[in-house]
């Protein structure tokens, strides 16, 4: 085994493979990336700005869009593209849907011919911190400052849910990412399955353990999770940490502060989760399950709880019974000394980006402006049972059970909603290091103390590596 810094340097090179740069020494990444193929002369000529065309889109320029075809599908994007075609009938709009974002787009970034708009999501999501650090993304400030699609008196940024624009800000005032979906993360469950045990969602961790013990006696596991993608555990664990110790604990983790992972709230949360494993309350075989396999086991009643995001209502609908009564909740109270009365992780999801070398960046931003209209937002919510970053669009809609529960949970949590930013700043650290260590702990191969030491070492190595672009809360 190499040192933590050796691992981190290898991580960076592997992360930069999304740009076709794996063979380039880490110290030369910026130069190599900036000098890859393509040029500004390839860009379409800008159109004339007007009230109906505030971004100055060239009406005849082609538009190239790539959408991640995951839990939300791509029908919502196609519907928004129909509006774009109606507005710019001379434009040739190319649409591609894929789950292989990195594999498909790596050669295009490397060759300087990326699409005009990308939904950069999924297991092969390109690392946003690397893309920003290597100046591969367009600043979306012109979009945010443009008149909104529905109300010319209101800017696009003023129609977004709180914190969404800030999530896309990595350096200075520039915003390089626009998160389209608005996801609620937490502990998801079926009220119908809890009714089998005459139970409500556990208010305290002792109640949680007691319910899991009762379920185990009936042959039902308390928990399951995406064993092959164990960073899913953080969807419930991070708000648990914040509830125990306060939101500042997560901010310290975001900022890669020394000893952030050694905070007592982190220790207490990890020990509580490890107890689920130690007492046999986790579904047997969970460490080997994909996210869809764990969701299927859960919808079929093999486990009561699963850490997940609000996309699960759409993604798992094929196996979810009609009377499932899907619900989401924040963490149970560890004890009477928790810093926060409630906590929930809610944030923008589905990160949309416009590459710096896109031929039609104005068209890519205009497509996003259309998607952030009330009509497109309502269409997305109606299709996939998820909110968008547009602050509204649900009036008059009959929300499905899970989404209705998510909206209610947001209202109850209020200002104690948290949003860990290191998940976007240091994607590889979160998914490949933190997630892996938590997965090892939940598989019984690491103690909570060992997991903390491993994660802190990786976080420290990331902080000390000058070849990685670092970000901090303001």
For residue range 233-243, what is the model confidence (pLDDT) as tens digits? 999 999 999 99
* Half-sphere exposure for 400 (CA within 13 Å, toward CB): 21
Q: Is residue 15 part of a domain?
A: no
pLDDT of 41: 53
Q: Is residue 9 part of a domain?
A: no
Residue 201 and residue 53 share a domain: no
**By three-state DSSP, how is residue 152 classified?**
coil
User: Measured between alpha carbons, how far is 141 from 254 in angstroms, rounded to an integer?
Assistant: 24
Q: Cα separations (Å) of 184 from 201, 310, 322, 330, 473?
A: 17, 5, 21, 10, 22
Residue 341 and residue 196 share a domain: yes
Q: Cα separations (Å) of 74 from 41, 77, 355?
A: 31, 5, 20
- φ, ψ of residue 160 in degrees (nearest 5): -90, 155
> Angle of helix 264-278 relative to helix 205-217, nearest 10 degrees?
10
The domain in which residue 451 lies consists of: 184-346+424-464
Percentage helix, strand, coil for the chain under 3-state DSSP, each rounded to 5: 45, 15, 40
Residue 65 and residue 141 share a domain: yes
Residue 144 and residue 55 share a domain: yes
Alpha carbon 323 to its chain's center: 28
Q: Is residue 33 part of a domain?
A: no
User: Measured between alpha carbons, how far is 404 from 361 in angstroms, rounded to an integer?
Assistant: 36
Residue with tokens 């193929």: 37
Which of 340, 134, 136 is closest to 244 using CA atoms? 340
Residue 295 and residue 276 share a domain: yes
Judge whether 230 and 435 are in contact, CB under 8 Å: yes
Residue 188 and residue 227 share a domain: yes
Residue 40: is its pLDDT beyond 90? no
Least confident piece of the model among 5-19, 217-231, 408-422:
5-19
Query: First and final CA of the chain: distance in angstroms?
Result: 36
- The CATH number of the domain holding residue 376 is 3.40.190.10
Residue range 165-213, pLDDT digits in tens: 988 998 788 999 999 999 999 999 999 999 999 999 999 999 999 999 9
pLDDT of 20: 41
pLDDT of 21: 37
pLDDT of 269: 98
Between 188 and 38, the more confident residue is: 188
Pairing of strands 178-190, 344-353: antiparallel
- φ, ψ of residue 28 in degrees (nearest 5): -105, 10
Which of 261, 227, 183 is closest to 429 using CA atoms? 261
Residue with tokens 């009477």: 336
For the segment 4-29, the average pLDDT, to the nearest whole number, is: 35
Q: Is residue 273 part of a domain?
A: yes
Residue 140 and residue 46 share a domain: yes
Residue 250 and residue 362 share a domain: no
Least confident piece of the model among 100-114, 242-256, 387-401:
387-401
Residue 360 and residue 265 share a domain: no
Q: Cα separations (Å) of 220 from 93, 173, 332?
A: 50, 50, 20
Residue range 130-178, pLDDT digits in tens: 899 899 999 999 999 999 999 999 999 999 988 899 889 987 889 999 9
Residue 133 and residue 195 share a domain: no
Residue 433 and residue 299 share a domain: yes
Residue 338 and residue 353 share a domain: no
Residue 260: is its pLDDT beyond 90? yes
Judge whether 361 and 354 are in contact, CB under 8 Å: yes
Strand partners, 64: 94
If you write DSSP's letter for every residue of 359-421 in order, what string do you get? Answer: S-HHHHHHHHHHHTSHHHHHHHHHHHS-EESBS---TT----HHHHHHHHHHHHHGGGEE--T
Q: Is residue 212 part of a domain?
A: yes
How many domains does the chain contain in total?
2
Q: Is residue 406 part of a domain?
A: no
Q: Is residue 1 part of a domain?
A: no
Q: Is residue 37 part of a domain?
A: no
Residue 415: is its pLDDT beyond 70? yes
């Amino acid at each position: 085994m190499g040192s933590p810094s050796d691992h981190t340097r290898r991580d960076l090179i592997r992360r930069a493979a999304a740009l076709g740069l794996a063979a380039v020494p880490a110290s030369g990444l910026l130069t190599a990336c900036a000098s890859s193929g393509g040029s500004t002369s390839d860009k379409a000529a800008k159109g004339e700005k007007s009230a109906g065309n505030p971004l100055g889109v060239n009406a005849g320029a082609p538009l190239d869009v790539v959408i991640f075809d995951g839990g939300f599908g791509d029908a919502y994007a196609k519907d928004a593209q129909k509006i774009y075609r109606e507005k710019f009938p001379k434009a040739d709009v190319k649409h591609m849907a894929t789950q292989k974002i990195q594999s498909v787009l790596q050669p295009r970034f490397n060759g300087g011919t990326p699409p005009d708009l990308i939904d950069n999501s999924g297991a092969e999501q390109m690392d946003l911190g690397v893309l920003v650090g290597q100046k591969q993304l367009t600043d979306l400030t012109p979009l945010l400052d443009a008149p909104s699609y529905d109300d010319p008196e209101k800017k696009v940024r003023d129609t977004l849910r709180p914190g969404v624009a800030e999530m896309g800000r990595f350096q200075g005032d520039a915003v390089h990412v626009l998160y389209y979906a608005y996801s609620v993360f937490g502990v998801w469950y079926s009220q119908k399955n809890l009714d089998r045990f005459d139970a409500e969602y556990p208010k305290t961790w002792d109640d949680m353990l007691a319910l899991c013990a009762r379920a185990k006696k009936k042959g039902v596991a308390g928990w399951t999770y995406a064993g092959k993608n164990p960073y899913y555990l953080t969807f419930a664990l991070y708000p648990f940490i914040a509830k125990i110790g306060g939101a500042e604990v997560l901010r310290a983790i975001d900022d890669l502060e020394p000893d952030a992972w050694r905070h007592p709230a982190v220790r207490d949360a990890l020990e509580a989760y490890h107890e689920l494993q130690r007492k046999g309350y986790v579904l047997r075989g969970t460490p080997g399950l994909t996210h869809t396999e764990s969701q299927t086991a859960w919808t079929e009643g093999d486990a009561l709880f699963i850490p997940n995001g609000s996309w699960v209502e759409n993604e798992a609908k094929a196996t979810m019974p009609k009377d499932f009564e899907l619900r989401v909740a924040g963490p149970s109270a560890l004890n009477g000394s928790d810093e926060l009365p409630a906590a929930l992780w809610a944030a923008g999801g589905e990160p949309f980006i416009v590459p710096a070398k896109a031929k039609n960046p104005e068209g890519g931003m205009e497509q996003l402006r259309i998607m952030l209209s009330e009509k497109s937002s309502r269409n997305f919510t109606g299709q996939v049972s998820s909110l968008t970053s547009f602050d509204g669009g649900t009036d008059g809609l009959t929300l499905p059970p899970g989404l209705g529960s998510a909206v209610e949970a947001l209202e109850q949590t209020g200002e104690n909603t948290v949003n860990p930013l290191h998940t976007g700043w240091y994607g590889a650290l979160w998914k490949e290091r933190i997630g892996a260590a938590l997965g090892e702990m939940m598989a019984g191969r690491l103690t909570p103390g060992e997991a903390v030491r491993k994660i802190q070492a990786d976080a420290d190595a990331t902080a000390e590596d000058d070849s990685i672009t670092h970000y901090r809360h303001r």
